[in-house]
A = this chain, B = another copy of it.
Amino acid sequence: MHILITGAAGMIGRKLIARLVKDGKLNGQNIDKLTLTDVVAPEKPAGFSGKAEIATSDLPAPGEAAKAVAGKPDVIFHLAGVVSGEAETDFDKGYRVNLDGTRALIEAVRKTGGGYKPKVIFTSSIAVYGAPFPYAIPDEFHLTPLTSYGTQKAICELLLADYNRRNILDGVGIRLPTICVRPGKPNKAASGFFSGIIREPLAGQEAILPVADSVRHTHASPRAAVNFLIHAAGLTREQLGPRINLAMPGVCCTVAEQIESLARIAGPKVAARIRREPDELVVRIVSGWSERFDAKRAEALGFRAEATFDDIIRAHIEDELGGKIAA
């Protein structure tokens, strides 16, 4: 089996690659070849016995998408994209990378012809939804994004569904909840604090909480996100039906409950490293975000997130901290 991963240098990309290399198989078939592309060169996958092709690729540039699929990968994990904040501040770049890049990729698949029909797993986002929301967002809720990023993701979902319907590819779009605990340094994303208030205290550092403890949100660990991608790759056209874009499950909890989990697992001294410093801008942005999902279809199709926020913290300690907490 030959797998293409776009956005392979990103956080989820790297974790997915590590998992695929560790498993050696996808959908019960040996992985012979990995093609890894990104705008910066992805790392060579450590410990992979098959063939690895590494390429820098700017998908919307003429000919680039065709090059990426030239080896006719059986499965494409399309993770490439610019993030929410950048898509909002740089209008042209957001539409170019997130919309035109995805369209170029699936058009390249279409143009390949000769019966070529790969499985395409697309990472969408809960940013496709826009407030106001019902108590829990059902699978049939409309997409009224309030950012250009969410708009681009929603458009790509529609394109993917039409290309799927026309048998050009076997598509599935997965709407990732907020990924928490995101490893690495704090970033300037408005959602960054959801990870920061866990990650920094566990590393012995102070974290800022810019919103009220009562803020409710839905989270899944990076490990769960990789599980979603692997699981999506194994679903058949028949299992999915025509509605191929799915909200993923997650752990729904308040910030207060996140902090209680942290205290339970790492002790009150660690949890005390959170400093409350309200930021009106972040408060306003977060107030427009979805809180709770009723991800019935994804659950019925076997997608599983963590059961509790405790599990999310434990996954972070195992995967990122080698089991060690800075007491």
Contact = CB atoms under 8 A, between A and B. Distances in A.
Interface of A: 91, 130, 134, 139-146, 148, 151, 154-155, 158-159, 161-162, 165-166, 242-243
A148 B168 CA distance: 13
Contacts of A134: 140
Contact of A151 (B142, B159, B243): B159
A145 B243 CA distance: 9
A76 to B, nearest CB: 20
Given A140-B142, A145-B158, A155-B159, 13 more contacts: A130-B242, A141-B142, A143-B143, A143-B158, A145-B161, A145-B162, A146-B165, A148-B162, A148-B166, A151-B158, A151-B159, A151-B161, A155-B158
Contacts of A161: 144-145, 151
B242 A144 contact: yes
A159 B156 CA distance: 12
A144 B91 contact: no
Contact of A141 (B140, B145, B148, B158): B140
A9 B59 CA distance: 38
Contacts of A130: 242
Contacts of A158: 143, 145, 151, 154-155, 158
A162 B151 contact: yes
Contacts of A144: 161, 242-243
A242 B142 CA distance: 13
A161 B161 CA distance: 21
A230 B139 CA distance: 34
A213 B165 CA distance: 30
Contact of A155 (B139, B148, B155): B155
Q: Which 10 A-B pairs rank lowest in CB-CB distance, beginning with the nearest?
A: A151-B162, A142-B142, A155-B155, A151-B158, A140-B142, A144-B243, A154-B158, A155-B158, A148-B162, A140-B141
A282 B148 CA distance: 39
Nearest to A140: B142
Contacts of A143: 142-143, 158
A197 B106 CA distance: 42
Nearest to A130: B242
Contacts of A243: 144
Contacts of A146: 165, 242
Which residue, of A143, A148, A151, A159, has the highest number of chain B Cβ atoms within 10 A? A151
A166 B134 CA distance: 25
A292 to B, nearest CB: 16
Contacts of A155: 155, 158-159
A162 B130 CA distance: 12
A95 to B, nearest CB: 9
19 contacts: A91-B166, A130-B242, A134-B140, A140-B141, A141-B142, A142-B142, A143-B143, A144-B161, A144-B242, A145-B158, A145-B161, A145-B162, A146-B165, A146-B242, A151-B158, A151-B159, A155-B155, A155-B158, A155-B159
